[in-house]
Amino acid sequence: MTRIDEFLAYLSIERGLADNTLESYGRDISQFEEFIGGTFNTRLEDATENIIMSYIKAMKDQGKATSSISRTISSIRGFYSFIFDEGLTEHNPAADILCPKRERTLPQILNSDEVIALLEAPTTHTPSGIRDRAMLETMYATGMRVSELVSLNLGDIDTYMGYVKCIGKGSKERIIPMGQIASMWVETYLRLARPKMLKGRRGKAIFLNYRGKRLTRQGFWKITKAYAKKVGISKHVTPHILRHCFATHLLENGADLRSVQEMLGHSDIATTEIYTHLTKGKLKEIYDRTHPRAGRGK
């Protein structure tokens, strides 16, 4: 799998981007790779800021539309941010290249009934079903990224105290509370299902596939899609949507932004602010319930 393929897989699985968007990203990076290979005899991993700026200048000289150049810059920035965060390169040559500001939008959010239906979709009469229920419950209970979830090892989850330790972007460790229901399903999985999936082998990964190896992001993506289809959810569902639901539902029920930021592992609170999209009806409900002068005069 090439670096571009890894980046596109991340965009698909972690961020749930549509196929046509993925094609645009892939085309942008491939054209950039072709340019720097032919002009500078340089690999993607070895590009410098000056090389990227040369490519941007070349696009301008070719008369490319401003919108096309802006999208390409965004693609290049996203690619290098990904491989830097994944430890695939020691520097991010696009870090200081300005990218036009874009309006940040959220994908569709599942309502509470849809979340419950998705969480309860696995048939828990088999080891894989118990594993799937434990993973879905943990995703929604903690708001972890799917890459963080599948990277969990034994000792990272304390089901008695109710917390999980994970390593996020930039190798930053954080501790996230985990509710009783998710803790119960993880404990059930570790006690009843995981030993059967190991089949006598040893391993440190918590969540395993049918071969007793660590479950991949792609594997969990397919699992989530299948359960969404099973319960009739028509929205575009990926594992990442449970992270969005986690943040949105916390804020809707009164959690403060800083706490949600810490649990999500966002370095910039502006990233967390995209979740403050409460409906006017919800805001009115909160206002009526909490403001001492909200009641109408008599």
How distant is the alpha carbon of residue 24 from its chain centre? Answer: 20
Residue 258 falls within a domain, yes or no? yes
Domain CATH number, residue 206: 1.10.443.10
Residue 97 falls within a domain, yes or no? no
Cβ–Cβ under 8 Å, residues 240 and 13: yes
Question: Do both 26 and 165 map to the same domain?
Answer: no
Question: Do both 78 and 119 map to the same domain?
Answer: no
Question: Do both 176 and 66 map to the same domain?
Answer: no
Q: Which two tokens stand for residue 84?
A: 């830097």
CA distance 52 to 56: 6
CA distance 296 to 276: 27
Question: Do both 127 and 260 map to the same domain?
Answer: yes
Where do we find the tokens 């693609």? 75
Domain that holds residue 24: 3-85
Domain CATH number, residue 64: 1.10.150.130
Residue 242 falls within a domain, yes or no? yes
Residue 286 falls within a domain, yes or no? no
Where do we find the tokens 């490319």? 64
Question: Do both 69 and 126 map to the same domain?
Answer: no
CA distance 58 to 278: 44
Confidence label for 297 from pLDDT (cuts 50, 70 and 90): very low
Residue 91 falls within a domain, yes or no? no
Question: Do both 146 and 248 map to the same domain?
Answer: yes
For 110-162, the pLDDT digits (tens) are 988 999 999 999 999 999 999 999 999 999 999 999 999 999 999 999 999 99
Question: Do both 43 and 123 map to the same domain?
Answer: no
Residue 34 falls within a domain, yes or no? yes
Residue 294 falls within a domain, yes or no? no
Domain tally, the chain: 2
Question: Do both 132 and 183 map to the same domain?
Answer: yes
CA distance 30 to 4: 8
Cβ–Cβ under 8 Å, residues 35 and 243: no
Q: What is the phi/psi pair of residue 222, to 5°?
A: -65, -40
Closest to 2 measured CA to CA, from 112, 83, 66, 111: 83
Residue 47 falls within a domain, yes or no? yes
Q: Which two tokens stand for residue 250?
A: 């916390």
Question: Do both 68 and 123 map to the same domain?
Answer: no
Which pLDDT score, from 0 to 100, does residue 21 have?
A: 86
Question: Do both 78 and 7 map to the same domain?
Answer: yes
Strand stretches in the chain, DSSP E: 157-158, 163-167, 173-177
pTM for the structure as a whole: 0.66
Confidence label for 89 from pLDDT (cuts 50, 70 and 90): confident
How distant is the alpha carbon of residue 186 from its chain centre? Answer: 20
Backbone conformation region of residue 229, classed left if phi is above 0, alpha if psi is from -120 to 50, else beta: alpha
Catalytic residues: 145, 169, 240, 243, 266, 275
Question: Do both 160 and 249 map to the same domain?
Answer: yes
Question: Do both 172 and 238 map to the same domain?
Answer: yes
Contacts 24+ apart (CB under 8 A), 156-164: 156/206, 157/183, 157/186, 157/206, 159/183, 159/184, 159/186, 159/187, 159/190, 164/138
Does residue 100 register a pLDDT over 60? no
For 148-200, the pLDDT digits (tens) are 999 999 999 999 999 999 988 777 889 999 999 999 999 999 999 999 999 88
